[in-house]
Structure 1
Amino acid sequence: MVKTVGQAAAELGIEAHVLRHWEQVGALTVRRDGNGYRVYDDKTLEQARTVRKLRRVGLSLPEVIAAISPRKAAAQAVVRAKIAVLESEIAHRQQAMTFLQHTVECRHRYLDDCPECATFVREA
């Protein structure tokens, strides 16, 4: 069963203009009917779900386009780069949590008086 852009957008939980934009930038291929209207079949909807998921995990549209490229090596390179960025962000947030947890439990009245807090502060 084919759907209009509005029906497809509603099913995907996004706005119709987002689907049109994805098509415009090359992240989504949508066929047209005899009157020039966009037609979303099961294959196109699945492609849109993939684009939506990649966007939700943090890929930019140019990264999405590369990640869905038929060239496997190019797609893998983009995904590996995003994994590296996410791992770095996770490490940074873990360090932040460790520091904040220490400040909650710190026995010193002022953080400036604590040697451990001073060590955290000096770390990059």
Structure 2
Amino acid sequence: MMVRTIGEVAAEVGVEPHVLRHWEQVGALTVSRDGNGYRTYDDRAVEQARTVLKLRRVGLSLPEVIAAMAPKKAAAQAIVTAKIDDLEGEITRTRQAITFLRHTAECRHRYLDDCPECASFVREP
């Protein structure tokens, strides 16, 4: 098992060292210390850092990341399922926005208020 420093892991994972320190501080990352108190990252800690980063990139907050990585599978699944629901809602809202904007760009009316379709889009939540 290879042990790495915070700088090596930060470069490998693609984050700044302060990010790894923060993740450790809030409990999203578990890191060992050597006899001098320096952080040491084994393969497990590096994979954990990669997992935290991936979960952050797909939109989970740090508290959600911590919950998603919890040993209790049901708690982790609840967080992930809630994020899926949020993302699906964003997709729906984005599709509606694209539909509205496409119509607006192609609308034959001079003013959006003059167009019945534009007016119906505006009234939608």
Q: Does TM, scored on the shorter chain, surpass 0.5?
A: yes
Where on the TM-score scale, by shorter chain, does this alignment land: which range?
over 0.9
TM-score relative to the length of structure 1: 0.97
Structure 1 gaps of 5+ residues are none
The alignment-based identity, stated in percent, is: 76
Secondary structure at the aligned position of 1:109 is classed as coil
Secondary structure at the aligned position of 1:36 is classed as coil
- Structure 2 match to 1:83: 84
- Structure 2 match to 1:11: 12
Q: Separation in 1 of the partners of 2:23 and 2:90?
A: 27
**Which amino acid letter does the alignment assign opposite residue 107 of structure 2?**
C
Please list, as runs of the form range in 1=range in 2, the aligned pairs for 1:66-77 lying within 5 A after superposition.
Answer: 66-77=67-78
Q: Separation in 2 of the partners of 1:123 and 1:117?
A: 10
Structure 2 gaps of 5+ residues are none
Q: Separation in 2 of the partners of 1:69 and 1:123?
A: 39
- Structure 2 match to 1:50: 51
Matched, 1:36 2:44: no
Moved over 2 A (4+): none
Secondary structure at the aligned position of 2:109 is classed as coil
Q: CA RMSD in A?
A: 0.7
- Structure 2 match to 1:104: 105
Q: Separation in 1 of the partners of 2:113 and 2:62?
A: 44
Aligned residues: 124
Q: Separation in 2 of the partners of 1:52 and 1:120?
A: 38
**Which amino acid letter does the alignment assign opposite residue 61 of structure 2?**
S
Matched, 1:63 2:59: no
